Amino acid sequence: MDIRKLIKSLLFIFVVVSLAVLVYKEFSPKSESNATDVTVTKVDTAAVSGKPEPAPERRSLKEPETKRKEEAPSPRTIATSQNSKVVAYYFHGNVRCTTCRTIEQYSHDAIHEYFAKELGSGRLEFRPVNVEEPGNKHFIQDYQLVTRSLVLSLVSDDKETKWKNLADVWKLVRDKERFFQYVRDEVEIFLKETG
């Protein structure tokens, strides 16, 4: 057997195994308590326009015992408390491509265009969050993020009762009107559950 072929084969096997380990570490669930603290970073919406961000304000909120992803609300998940709100997170990293910035801008604009009243009353919040900053990395595991994402979270009495990753923003980014309608429809569904 040729030594070059042997070395190439061994290198190929090493690369494949390394990638498999990285993928496993990235996507494998970590065993954590069901009621772990989640630190939420509140960021001024001026960050969307590229202006300097103010220092983040931190507060703690507990995760629910079970997360409900994209399922119809049961009577237990419908939030009717006066302390209910919807948080629209736009999760990004340090490196931001044009498409990622467009998704964030469209998300911001759609939410501010259709839900100004709810934003003003505090029933709805828009929060861009850099998941690569210390203290924000838990969001990757919490919301099973694999890319830049718009996630809606229903919070009642400081506990998240439901969340949904709006994955279709990537499909609709080239059609601003459909993108806005998609975000509007999904936010309305979540707002109905705030009472």
Model confidence pLDDT, tens digit, residues 51-95: 444 443 434 444 433 343 334 443 334 434 468 899 999 999 888
Structure tokens at 18: 């390394």
Closest CA to 193 of 61, 67, 85: 85
Q: Are 178 and 118 in contact (CB under 8 A)?
A: no
CATH architecture entry for 35-192 = 3-Layer(aba) Sandwich (3.40)
87-142 per-position pLDDT tens digit = 999 999 888 888 889 999 999 999 999 999 999 999 999 999 998 888 988 888 88
Nearest-angstrom CA–CA distance, 147 and 3: 41
Q: Is 76 helix (H, G, I), strand (E, B) or coil?
A: coil
Kindly report the pTM of this predicted structure: 0.57
Residue 125: per-residue pLDDT: 92
Helices (H), 97-175: 98-114, 116-121, 138-142, 169-172
Nearest-angstrom CA–CA distance, 151 and 158: 17
Domain ranges of the chain: 1-31, 35-192
Residue 70: per-residue pLDDT: 39
